[in-house]
Amino acid sequence: MTVNIDLHVHTSHSPCARLRPSDIETVALKRGLDGVAVTDHNTLTGALAVRALAEKIKVIVGEEVKTARGEIIGYFLTEFIPPFLSPEETLSRIRRQGGLVSIPHPLDRLRSSRLDMDVLEKILPDIDMIESYNSRDILTAADRRILDRAAALGKLLVAASDAHLKIEVGRSYVSMADFSGPGDFLGKLKQGIFVKRKSPFWVHLVTKVLKLCKKKGGRR
């Protein structure tokens, strides 16, 4: 059985996203997806909520963790990982849970949140995958050196939507054999076929406004 999985989806539990956990399954099914990895910023709350609500789709519980040097994604997590730890400690905490490690949007020059390149070079042997394509990337620099090194080390080059709004869900996804658990997932992901499509430029403006509104709302 083949399943379509979006590897990078945010819910309203991220400060810059609008997707309610209760909406995820409906939207995913409309886009032809069989599952999503929910990777909210610095929280598992949204992912756990989506998993509890989902009846027809697979849900990978993940977290996009802001480390002291940029962001790292953990998949198949069972425990929250706090932000602002060192990248090495963050990676270690993902591994202690039996999780998988991915590097989000490392090639987008406009992302201040991307992992510092010297750190990526250092931890590259210890990761599982790296986003060589992100639907939200605007100004990308295809660093063939780092991608070629990652491939040579057996790291998977993946594509993901990085969805924050309904319109973005499923813009990029992987079509792969059905799986159970992180090890099986990683093995079958190697044979997966990626569908890649850019999201419209204006989604960045919407998420910036959302983040500002949520920040102001929290101050009241």
Name the average pLDDT for the chain.
93
Split into its structural domains, the chain has a count of 1
Express as a percent the part of the chain with pLDDT over 70.
Answer: 94
Summarize pLDDT for 87-114 with one digit per residue, the tens.
999 999 999 999 999 999 998 777 778 9
State the pairing for strand pair 2-9/35-41.
Answer: parallel
Q: What pTM value is reported for the model?
A: 0.92
What CATH number does residue 26 fall under? Answer: 3.20.20.140
Q: What is the pLDDT of residue 139?
A: 67
pLDDT of residue 136: 86
Domain extent at residue 71:
2-219
CA distance 215 to 41: 14
When pLDDT is averaged across residues 201-207 and rounded to a whole number, the result is 79
The predicted-structure confidence for 139-189, as pLDDT tens digits, reads as follows 666 667 888 999 999 999 999 999 999 999 999 999 999 999 999 999 999
**Percentage of the chain modeled with pLDDT above 90:** 80
pLDDT at 28: 98
Q: Is the pLDDT of residue 127 over 60?
A: yes
